[in-house]
Amino acid sequence: MRSIFPQPIRDLPQADMHLDGATGYIAQGDHEQVIFMEFEKTIEIPQHSHESQWEIVLEGEVCYREDGVEHLYKKGDRFFIPTGKAHSATISAGYSSIVFFNQKERYAKKE
């Protein structure tokens, strides 16, 4: 899969996402992270929670679930997940997004 991100983004440290077929590049702040994510394969994300997350869909689609309700987000959509909100998702192959986490160490840098 060819990356949609330009070289300056691909030069950022990679995120250790532990998801087969997923690549993320970390821009690190003092109290937050921005992750530029790409997915080569469809991935199921089990229910979990963390600090708040704001995401912009660049390509593809994600089926996001919370409280038994499904939301389908596609290119150009954005969504917000509040701190502590349990959620799960199915991320389709070809998906890419920019994600802001209000959590400095949501993802570690890949060694």
How far is CA 71 from its chain centroid? 16
The residues, ordered by sequence, that sit 6+ positions from 23 with a Cβ below 8 Å of its Cβ are: 3, 14, 15, 17, 37, 38, 39, 40
Contact 14, 5 (CB under 8 A): no
pLDDT in tens, the chain (111 residues): 789 999 999 999 999 988 999 999 999 999 999 999 999 999 999 999 999 999 999 999 999 999 999 999 999 999 999 999 999 999 999 999 999 999 988 998 988
Domain 7-101: assigned CATH number: 2.60.120.10
- Domain ranges in the chain are 7-101
Supply φ then ψ for residue 94, to 5 degrees: 90, 0
The confidence score (pLDDT) of residue 16 equals 94
Residue type, 109: K
The confidence score (pLDDT) of residue 7 equals 96
The confidence score (pLDDT) of residue 2 equals 85
Whole-model pTM: value is 0.92
